[in-house]
Amino acid sequence: MSAEDLCFLSGAESARRIASGELSPVDLVEAVLARADAVQGPLNPFTVICAEEARAQAKEAEDAVARGDALGPLHGVPYTIKDMIDVAGMRITFGSAMFEHNVPASDTVVVERLRASGAILLGITNMAECGHKGTNSNPLWGLTRNPWDPETTPGGSSGGAAAALATGCGALALGTDRAGSVRIPAGATGVCGLKPTLGVFPCPETPDLFDTTTVIGPMARGIEDIAALMSVCGGPDPRDPWSHGATRRDYMPDARPRGDMTGTRIAWAPMVGNAALDGETRAVCEEAVAAFRALGAEVSPVGIDLSEAGDILLAIVGALASAAYTDKMPEFGDRIDKSLRMGIELGGKLSAADLEKALFGRAALFRKVEAVLAEHDLLVTPCLTRPAIAADHFAFDPVEIEGVAYRNPRFDWYPYTHPFNHTGHPALALPAGWTAGNMPVGLQIVAPWHAEPRLIRAGAELEAARPWADRRPPSP
């Protein structure tokens, strides 16, 4: 197997081959490190590449296989972590000068679980500053580019993770998702990203433990690896109150396609109150939906208007940004991303009543989505209204769709993602296909709370029906 093929091997398959002695974790890590080194210059997906630490862990993993030790489910498999998830002893900066010297003393829960599984940390991935926008740049580490077209963004705020995955820099990644930050990059780069139900991936470091928007989520090139990450990282932890309703389970059986979706009721919503949808994007998504129908699923077009989600997002996230960062503005103001600075200032102008009205609106959104899911097993939408926008697109500037300028990315590029952060429903982004210009198009599948197995099963069926593993971006 060539070094490039090693880099694009799935995490689950890598773990199987390592456990059988067929694959050396040292060889795998060396191939992936070489790939990361080649990709970093042109695309900038990483803030830190943990080369020496990864090599040392790979040697330990190889010795454990040789000794016949009991191995974890991801033994020897490289993974990456977004630059806002705590990793002991690593610089975790949130892409911001405000936190550039932050070094957590301990791992967060999901990182503890990945280490226990035998997985090997490859590096820390770049992000939008403090996760505030759907593109991927910050004043501290610079701009990350999309491997399918470097003039475009890989999406944000987990764009570094997506760019690394798409180019073969590790098979597994963890991102975070407050308004689509796992799913936007997945849709823009042709990988998979799952926003779990709140609490499924514990995050006790969240400043507001009862925050109902931000979650940690798994990212990978294929559905089996999403299932593997769910199996390893999911489950309750007493330090996170939302996680008390979660259960720890094996999702791997859900990732085995059966070639039959008879009895599955799918609601197809190409529009959710947004102003426009690119024609080629719609056509590719409808081909993917037709694949579900061909497998026996009952597909029904539905009308659902979630357009108020954009204003709800601005209120809730604006209030959060103001509370978290206003006191840092005198020291760091000129070193904070302009659009984040604008968000902090706008959030400071909100009243308590404005925030409460947004929370009332969130409740109304939940009821709308529940009404659809009461009569369907899954809700399917596009992930984005068009392929990736410019790498340096400003967060408050208009988005162009088929030659027409619309409001801005929150309302007109990713209107499909943030409604489900407000409502808490799990949502999976995965490749629907590619445009004639070889740009990825993402599909989003939404399920009831704690119904992640349905998402993984549907994703596995689509991957089997419309395989994408052979699609690799041009070499950087």
Which residue(s) pair with 399 in the sheet? 406
Of residues 222, 175, 223, the one with CA closest to residue 201: 175
Q: Which two tokens stand for residue 271?
A: 């529009």
CB 270 within 8 A of CB 286: yes
Cα four-point dihedral sign 454, 455, 459, 462: positive
**Catalytic residue (choose from 24, 157, 231, 339):** 157
pLDDT for res 475: 83
| pLDDT tens digits, 302-336 | 999 999 999 999 999 999 999 999 999 999 999 99
Per DSSP, 122 falls in state E
Residue 349 has pLDDT above 80, yes or no: yes
Q: Which two tokens stand for residue 240?
A: 């996170």
Tokens 């690593």 sit at which residue?
90
Q: Is 2 tagged catalytic?
A: no
| pLDDT tens digits, 379-420 | 999 999 999 999 999 999 999 999 999 999 999 999 999 999
Q: What SS3 class is residue 2? A: coil
**Catalytic residue (choose from 10, 14, 96, 181):** 181
pLDDT for res 214: 87
| pLDDT tens digits, 437-462 | 999 999 999 999 999 999 999 999 99
pLDDT for res 212: 72
What is the amino acid identity at position 275? A
Q: Is 106 tagged catalytic?
A: no
Of residues 221, 277, 259, 230, the one with CA closest to residue 13: 221
Q: Write down all domains in the chain, each with its CATH number in brackets.
A: 3-465 (3.90.1300.10)
Q: Which two tokens stand for residue 213?
A: 């928007």
| pLDDT tens digits, 145-174 | 999 999 999 999 999 999 999 999 999 999
DSSP 322-360: HHHHGGGHHHHGGGS-HHHHHHHHHHHT--HHHHHHHHH
Mean pLDDT of 198-215: 89
How many CB atoms within 10 Å of residue 449? 18
**Catalytic residue (choose from 10, 14, 24, 82):** 82
Helix (H) or strand (E) holding 429: strand 427-434
pLDDT for res 326: 97
| pLDDT tens digits, 170-195 | 999 999 999 999 999 999 999 999 99
What is the amino acid identity at position 362? R
User: How far is it, in rounded angstroms, from Cα 385 to Cα 442?
Assistant: 9
User: How far is it, in rounded angstroms, from Cα 469 to Cα 235?
Assistant: 29
User: How far is it, in rounded angstroms, from Cα 79 to Cα 450?
Assistant: 25
Helices (H), 133-277: 159-166, 183-189, 223-233
Q: Please classify residue 298 by burial: count the beta carbons closer than 10 Å to its beta carbon, then call 0-12 exposed, 13-18 middle and 19+ buried.
A: middle
How many CB atoms within 10 Å of residue 129? 29
Cα 275 from chain centroid (whole Å): 25
| pLDDT tens digits, 52-74 | 999 999 999 999 999 999 999 99
User: How far is it, in rounded angstroms, from Cα 454 to Cα 459?
Assistant: 8
CB 192 within 8 A of CB 230: no
pTM value surpassing 0.75: yes
CB 187 within 8 A of CB 199: no
Question: Percent of the chain having pLDDT more than 90?
Answer: 97
Confidence of residue 213 (pLDDT cuts 50, 70, 90): confident
Residue 130 has pLDDT above 80, yes or no: yes
User: How far is it, in rounded angstroms, from Cα 451 to Cα 374?
Assistant: 13
pLDDT for res 441: 99
Tokens 């899954």 sit at which residue?
378
Strands (E), 258-412: 265-268, 298-301, 378-382, 399-401, 404-406
User: How far is it, in rounded angstroms, from Cα 85 to Cα 216?
Assistant: 8
How far are the Cα atoms of 52, 154, 180, 374 from residue 48, in angstroms, in the given order?
A: 12, 18, 24, 45
Tally of CA atoms within 13 A in the half-sphere of 416 that contains its CB: 27
393 Rama sector, left if φ>0, alpha if ψ -120 to 50, beta otherwise: beta
Q: Which two tokens stand for residue 408?
A: 């801005």
Tally of CA atoms within 13 A in the half-sphere of 344 that contains its CB: 19
Q: Is 82 tagged catalytic?
A: yes
User: How far is it, in rounded angstroms, from Cα 149 to Cα 258?
Assistant: 35
* Residues recorded for the chain: 476
Residue 1 has pLDDT above 90, yes or no: no
Q: Rounded to a whole number, what is the largest CA-CA distance in the chain?
A: 63
Helix (H) or strand (E) holding 3: helix 3-7
CB 446 within 8 A of CB 378: yes
Mean pLDDT of 334-349: 97
Q: Which two tokens stand for residue 432?
A: 């629907």
